Amino acid sequence: MVETSRPARRDSYTVDTLLAVTVRVFNERGYDGTSMEDLSRAAGISKSSIYHHVKGKEELLRLAVGRALDGLFGTLDEPEAREGTALARLEHVVRRTTAVLLAELPYVTLLLRVRGNTATEQWALQRRREFDHRVAELLAEAVAEGQLRADVEPRLATRLLFGMINSLVEWYRQDADGKSAALVVDAVAELAFHGLRAP
């Protein structure tokens, strides 16, 4: 007699594995278009099993976008982001931000798609603005030190820079060996700093 595969038991899931399924469904259907029933089906567990781990859909969203935000803000606390010239610190942040985006692609994709419709989405948008502001300050410092061109307003340069980085979520697919991620990080840094560097 052949056994049919059974859905995963509640105790076989962790918050992290549940979150991975949740983020995939949120990215496919949109947060507003996803029900707890959808998540239950995708995970192969009952809704009550999901509630064993979290309070509901919005908590899952907060955990997911929080993971992306923690990765991004973590780059600002690294020693290379706090020591050295403003240009060296900025380049480190750009490289690490790109690397975090590629490593946490589904989570950052979800973060970039929030629109402020819930308290969690509003919190995520505020945190994104805070991150952008801190990078803009660093860019302005590099301009003041004469390391970057002064004819592009720092906030505009920051938006253009992150427009390029954030566009990766639309087309990047990691190779099995992960080598392409390093190539993308190098290309982003080269394009950004070749165009921004003062003559």
Q: What is the pLDDT of residue 173?
A: 83
Q: What is the pLDDT of residue 152?
A: 83
Residues of the chain with pLDDT under 50: 1-10
DSSP letter at 173?
-
Q: What is the pLDDT of residue 8?
A: 45
Q: Is the dihedral of CA 43, 45, 47, 51 positive or negative?
A: negative
Compute CA distances 162 → 10, 169, 184, whole Å. Answer: 39, 12, 14
Model-level pTM? 0.86
Q: What is the pLDDT of residue 150?
A: 87
Q: What is the pLDDT of residue 68?
A: 97
Report H helices in the chain: 15-29, 36-43, 47-53, 57-76, 79-82, 86-103, 105-113, 119-144, 154-166, 168-171, 179-196
